[in-house]
Amino acid sequence: MKKIVFALLLLAGLSQSISAQSLKKDTIQKASMSTELLTFAKKHLSLRYRSGGTSRKGFDCSGFVRYCFSQFGMLLPHSSAAQISHGIEIALGEAKEGDLIFFKGHNAGSQRVGHVGLILDVKNNYVKFIHSAWKGGVRYDFLHADYYKKRFVGVRRVIR
């Protein structure tokens, strides 16, 4: 009886070890994909803004996000309002690199999503993101800037 119990405990421990190793490998692969995605996105800094743009000739915000994800085999719709329905909702405090960050458009009083970016860095007091903005094209910005803070809608995780 002791041998059977010992064997079952050994198998259970081995199973948990294999499961933990798989989880760790999966986590590393996701982190690697996020890093590659953001490295790719940064290569497009200073490209011009173009309404409806989806290529290196010019991007709008959702076109830029869609283009970056498509390079890694992930297809997203071409509108920030449609992109917010993809992935899973994440609390701002749980946000991490590679997550999508959404904002209202020009009208801060509106309830409609009108802008999207990719989170680059999350620190105690700020979130840095890359996006294609009407002024400046593909560039970095921070959530704590008044313009974006007033328009913040939420965060979604597409890389799971």
Give residue-wise pLDDT tens across range 95-122. 999 999 999 998 888 889 999 999 999 9
Bridge pairing between strands 100-104 and 152-157: antiparallel
Looking at per-residue pLDDT, the higher value among 122 and 23 belongs to 122
Task: Say whether 131 is catalytic.
Answer: yes
pLDDT-based confidence at residue 12 (cuts at 50, 70, 90): low
Give residue-wise pLDDT tens across range 66-97. 999 999 999 999 999 999 999 999 999 999 99
> Which among 78, 106, 131, 144 is annotated as catalytic?
131
Q: Domain range for residue 8? A: 2-157
Task: Say whether 44 is catalytic.
Answer: no
Sheet holding 137-142, edge to edge: 88-90, 152-157, 100-104, 113-122, 127-133, 137-142
> Which among 61, 78, 106, 144 is annotated as catalytic?
61
Task: Say whether 61 is catalytic.
Answer: yes
Structural domain count of the chain: 1
pLDDT-based confidence at residue 24 (cuts at 50, 70, 90): very low
User: Taking the mean position of all CA atoms in its chain, how far away is CA 135?
Assistant: 22
Find the CATH number of the domain harbouring 122: 3.90.1720.10
Give residue-wise pLDDT tens across range 31-60. 689 999 999 999 999 999 999 999 999 999
What's the predicted TM-score (pTM) here? 0.81
Q: What is the pLDDT of residue 2?
A: 57
